[in-house]
Amino acid sequence: MKRRNRAKKPDTMVKFQLMPGTYYVIRPMEHEDILQVAQIDRVAFPGEWVFRTQSAYKRDLDNPSIRYIVVCNKRDVSKSEGQAMQKLPWFKRLFSYERHLNVSENVVGFSGFWMIMREAHIIAIGVRGGYRRLGIGEGLLIATIELAQILNANVVTLEVRASNEIAQDLYKKYGFRVAGRRLRYYSSDGEDAIIMSTDNIASMPFQASLQQLKKAHAQRHRGIFAQVR
């Protein structure tokens, strides 16, 4: 049964440009995003428990204790392109418009977390193949931590594969430390998971470090700017 008195989710949006004519927006996940998020999930986490069906995502979006955000890429239509489209017959303009709409709705990454008391536990951070190593995963991590702070979390926790040293290094960069180990945690191959946790994310030292890292990320990816409402 759906909960009628569902708490309103804060709007979190991060917009940043990585390639000419294309920019990326991080926003709260909507029901219309479920198909694409499930597709990314299957590819990014093959055979792992984190894989979720579309019906499971639908339930999660109605659960006030769970938050998901997505990255969508959008393409700026230049003035010359707009003028050229106006010269086309109406039916060709329609197809061109739909093509731009399809680009603007393309989900290229997602993250999600559970709110358990004052702890935000990250379920997954996944990026579509072909969009990795562009800073999108790091942007999602920044937005996830900021959203957890808005929801009054004290700490952020997660599990990561013991062999995934690249991810572990990224998390350590953002103040996560090793807090334990779960033996044979991943059902697909029995690999151990490393438990990682931040210190108090509302503390002055953590916030100062986060803002510095966020600024550096923005500079690396040309004019990133964030807006949290």
Q: Is residue 159 annotated as part of the catalytic site, yes or no?
A: yes
Domain boundaries, the chain: 23-70+107-228
b/e code 132-166 from CB counts within 10 Å (16+ = b): eebbbbbbbbbbbbbbbbebebbbbbbbbbbeeee
How long, in residues, is the chain?
229
pLDDT in tens, 53-108: 888 899 999 999 999 999 988 765 444 444 554 454 544 444 443 344 444 468 99
Residue 91 pLDDT = 42
Annotated active-site residue in 131, 171, 174, 185:
171
Tens-digit pLDDT profile for the chain (229 aa)?
Answer: 434 444 445 555 555 555 555 678 889 999 999 999 999 998 888 766 555 788 889 999 999 999 999 998 876 544 444 455 445 454 444 444 334 444 446 899 999 999 999 999 999 999 998 888 888 999 999 999 999 999 999 999 999 999 999 999 999 999 999 999 999 998 888 899 999 999 999 999 999 999 999 999 988 876 443 333 3
Residue 198 pLDDT = 98
Q: What is the pTM of this model?
A: 0.77
Annotated active-site residue in 159, 174, 185, 186:
159
In this structure, CATH architecture of domain 23-70+107-228: 3-Layer(aba) Sandwich (3.40)
For residue 187, what are the contacts with CB-CB under 8 A and spacing of at least 6? 47, 48, 49
Backbone angles phi, psi at 202, to 5 degrees: -90, -5
